[in-house]
Structure 1
Amino acid sequence: MNHANELLYRYIMDHSSTITERWLALREKVDGSIYSVDNHDEVEALLRKQNTLTIKTVTSILLDDQTIFMENMENWALIVAKSRVDFETPIYEVLDALNKVRVTYWTFMKDYMLQEEPAVTKEMIIQWSDLIHAAFDQLNREFTEQYYRLTEKKLIAQQEIINEIGAPVIPIVDAIAVLPLIGEIDTFRAKEILNLTPSKCIERNVSHLFIDLSGVSFLDTMVAHQIYQLISTLNLLGIEATISGIRPEVAQTSIQLDVDFSHVRTHSTLKQALIKQGIKLYEKNEKMNKKNQTP
């Protein structure tokens, strides 16, 4: 590191806490934002710590070894991106905050250059301007990339939960399970049910699956065919399928759509289907009566 860069590096690092405080002073009240001025002390402490890391990362570009800056940048981006994803901070808020850091940082650089005149030459100013602005630009790119990756990972995890809830294969006894379908089943959800249910049944060693449609009020052509394909797929895997809870209007729609469920066992209610299978259902009243009859 040449002498001029070393002096600037020391100046910025010595004033990093002041830069951070001035940046924090730019905050305004924004409901629900991590950058809101009225946030809790622990949030402000987090911002202060991360801003100090930002300053250290940017300033490290003045060092001779550029690998230090690259390593610092990758570490910074991962820490800040994870934090903002956890706080569900919109990316535009982060980029706006980072731009304010840039402005505050550059103000201190201008102060330094004015103080050190005439030792600071025009060539030095151009070089530093190129370096520092390039560092901030790289931080922007690295952050947005990490933010995208973490957000995508989070969305995939959330979608897996939604899929699990949307098509829950619930074991009840031995190798018997229930698939209760509730609410509207659109084409996308029907395909997810078709794709996920067989593998869930295999994982849980299910040999008989009860598909309960009592919570479904409407079936269109595509959805009806998807359910039909699901039953066919289960049969090919050696898994028996029984349908329960088909509403009259749903049954009528199936007939109109020419979807043949005649080869599938059907029952009006899930309770009736389970009893037919020989599964004893104990009602609360029955348990209470037995308890009361105990001498």
Structure 2
Amino acid sequence: MELKGMNQELYDYLLESIDAITDAWLLEREEKDGSIYSKDAGDWSEQMLREQNRQTNLTIASSLLEDQEAFENNKKSWAKLVAESRVSSRTPIYEVLDALSKLRKTFWNFIEKFVDREGDHVLRSDILNWGIVIHKAFDEIIVEFTTRYDELINSRLFAQQSLIEELNAPIIKLNSTIGVLPIIGDVDTTRVQSISDYVPTRCVELDVSHLFIDLSGVSIIDTMVANHIYQLMQVLDLLGIESTMTGIRPEIAQTSVQLGLDFSKIRTFGSLQLALKKNFKDFEI
């Protein structure tokens, strides 16, 4: 038989054996606490693995055909499906790679069965070719999967980081242009740097023209932190955003003076309530 014909024969055999391949692969599972790949993970996990493994087998088998575009499409669809599933279930990437390694071995067991069944019809060159094609297909789906997995994880981390920044420095809109930044809790150099990086951009996004920075919830501020807050207000001023500092405790004021920071050009009030009443008569607090 021509090489193309033998590839088709193997492809047809793998499709006929597709459920048997999945059954054999599932038998390789061990007990892993908390893993979807554990043999005691439950019926739902097993059914999900069975359906996804069927897609994996179809993808790998399609690499034997001349239509490489079909393999590429199958590979991308499979990687998207499995990556989203594993990220959703918080499955570590090493567990997925281990499962694919076991599937590769199972796949070759069935190729060996096909070779035994066909006997002399299968040439040494056929087997060598399948070794190249099948291993290349497994390597490619691993690269595609890890790429997609990494993109999804980074997307989630970015979303989480954005939420952390928002919670770290929540700008509360009082109306269309006035915002309040309540800073609460301990403020060290790392946190105040994060606030300084986040607040100006967020004010522009929210179209804030006047920001009240309330420090009444902060008990201790060292000289470095005081300097960062001073610089933040200067940055806001350059952006055309007015800023008012409220809730300044005596020790914070003393620290600022000792540092030599000139707050004479910055409006300050003892409380946010007083600042709003002085600046905006419409606000009754």
User: Could you say which residue in structure 1 is the equivalent of 2:275?
Assistant: 273
Alpha carbons 1:181, 1:216 under 8 Å: kept:
yes
Letter in 1 for 2:139: D
Superposed, 1:204-223 pairs within 5 Å as 204-223=206-225
User: Could you say which residue in structure 1 is the equivalent of 2:49?
Assistant: 47
Shift of 1:19: 1.1
Letter in 2 for 1:90: P
In the alignment, the residues of structure 2 paired with residue 20 and residue 221 of structure 1 have an alpha-carbon distance, to the nearest angstrom, of 64
Shift of 1:174: 5.4
Report how many residues are paired. 281
Letter in 1 for 2:256: S
In the alignment, the residues of structure 2 paired with residue 254 and residue 248 of structure 1 have an alpha-carbon distance, to the nearest angstrom, of 10
Q: Tell me, yes or no, if structure 1 residue 152 matches structure 2 residue 172.
A: no
Superposed, 1:242-253 pairs within 5 Å as 242-253=244-255
In the alignment, the residues of structure 2 paired with residue 219 and residue 7 of structure 1 have an alpha-carbon distance, to the nearest angstrom, of 75
In the alignment, the residues of structure 2 paired with residue 132 and residue 52 of structure 1 have an alpha-carbon distance, to the nearest angstrom, of 16
Pick aligned residue for 1:202 from 201, 204, 215 = 204
The list of structure 1 runs, each at least 4 consecutive aligned residues, that deviate by more than 4 angstroms after superposition, is: none
Q: Report the TM-score, using the length of structure 2 for normalisation.
A: 0.88
Shift of 1:23: 1.5
Q: Give the direction of change, closer, same or farther, for the CA distance of 1:179–1:118 in structure 2 (3 Å limit).
A: same
Structure 2 residue runs of 5 or longer lacking an equivalent are: none
Q: Give the direction of change, closer, same or farther, for the CA distance of 1:27–1:261 in structure 2 (3 Å limit).
A: farther
Letter in 1 for 2:284: K
User: Could you say which residue in structure 2 is the equivalent of 1:288?
Assistant: none
Alpha carbons 1:208, 1:240 under 8 Å: kept:
yes
Alpha carbons 1:219, 1:254 under 8 Å: kept:
no
| Comparing 254-263 and 59-68, the one that deviates more | 254-263
Q: Tell me, yes or no, if structure 1 residue 58 matches structure 2 residue 60.
A: yes
In the alignment, the residues of structure 2 paired with residue 3 and residue 197 of structure 1 have an alpha-carbon distance, to the nearest angstrom, of 66
Q: Report the TM-score, using the length of structure 1 for normalisation.
A: 0.85
User: Could you say which residue in structure 2 is the equivalent of 1:240?
Assistant: 242
Q: Give the direction of change, closer, same or farther, for the CA distance of 1:223–1:136 in structure 2 (3 Å limit).
A: same
Letter in 2 for 1:137: D
In the alignment, the residues of structure 2 paired with residue 259 and residue 226 of structure 1 have an alpha-carbon distance, to the nearest angstrom, of 11
SS in 2 for 1:116: helix
Q: Give the direction of change, closer, same or farther, for the CA distance of 1:274–1:136 in structure 2 (3 Å limit).
A: same
Per-residue CA deviation, residues 93-121 of structure 1 (Å, 9 max, x unaligned), is 11111111111111111122122223222
SS in 2 for 1:33: coil
Structure 1 residue runs of 5 or longer lacking an equivalent are: 282-295
In the alignment, the residues of structure 1 paired with residue 248 and residue 29 of structure 2 have an alpha-carbon distance, to the nearest angstrom, of 58
Q: Tell me, yes or no, if structure 1 residue 136 matches structure 2 residue 151.
A: no
In the alignment, the residues of structure 1 paired with residue 257 and residue 27 of structure 2 have an alpha-carbon distance, to the nearest angstrom, of 69
Alpha carbons 1:198, 1:233 under 8 Å: kept:
yes
In the alignment, the residues of structure 2 paired with residue 13 and residue 186 of structure 1 have an alpha-carbon distance, to the nearest angstrom, of 62
Pick aligned residue for 2:21 from 14, 19, 22 = 19
SS in 2 for 1:241: strand
User: Could you say which residue in structure 2 is the equivalent of 1:178?
Assistant: 180
| Comparing 17-26 and 93-102, the one that deviates more | 17-26
Q: Give the direction of change, closer, same or farther, for the CA distance of 1:233–1:67 in structure 2 (3 Å limit).
A: same
In the alignment, the residues of structure 1 paired with residue 206 and residue 243 of structure 2 have an alpha-carbon distance, to the nearest angstrom, of 15
Per-residue CA deviation, residues 66-113 of structure 1 (Å, 9 max, x unaligned), is 222122112211221122122222111111111111111111111221
User: Could you say which residue in structure 1 is the equivalent of 2:92?
Assistant: 90
Per-residue CA deviation, residues 217-246 of structure 1 (Å, 9 max, x unaligned), is 343444322211221122233433222223
Shift of 1:276: 3.8
